[in-house]
Amino acid sequence: MSSNFSPTPAELALVNKIFAKNDLQKFGVITGDVAVKIFGGAQLSSSTLGDIWTLSDTENNGFLSRKGVTVAVRLIGWAQKGEQVSHDLVNKREFSACWSHSLPSCVWSPP
């Protein structure tokens, strides 16, 4: 993952919401099983979600840190707009105007 990655306030808000609901023990990570449940609601193909996981879990830990979840959120947004998921999209910030309006339904609402 590039060091140029800088999350937007909307991305951080969504990631905070995800961790508040799914990291009750405050370990600071989201496991693969939990991620499947969360990101499955994005209605993307399993192949696309697998690509997103690969780009988000850069150290192949089998879990995502806050930064990894933030990268996944960004890539999900791009994928939902029809973009082919790639490393180049990790640093591309301006992906959706709807993100600036309090976690809109145009992306997805994590469980």
In which band, very low, low, confident or very high, does the pLDDT at 99 lie, cut at 50, 70 and 90? very low
15-58 confidence digits (pLDDT tens):
999 999 999 899 999 999 999 988 888 889 999 999 999 999 99
Confidence bin at 101 (pLDDT 50/70/90): very low
Q: Give me the number of domains the chain comprises.
A: 1
pLDDT at residue 97 in the model: 37
How far is the C-alpha of 99 from the C-alpha of 67, rounded, in Å?
18
Q: Is residue 59 in a domain? A: yes
- For residue 53, what are the domain limits? 9-89
Angle at 62 between CA 58 and CA 65, to 5 degrees: 65
> Residue 22: inside a domain, yes or no?
yes
The rounded distance, in Å, linking the Cα atoms of 68 and 98 is 22
Q: Are 25 and 34 in contact (CB under 8 A)?
A: no
Looking at every residue in the chain, the average pLDDT score rounds to 82
CB atoms within 10 A of CB 76: 26
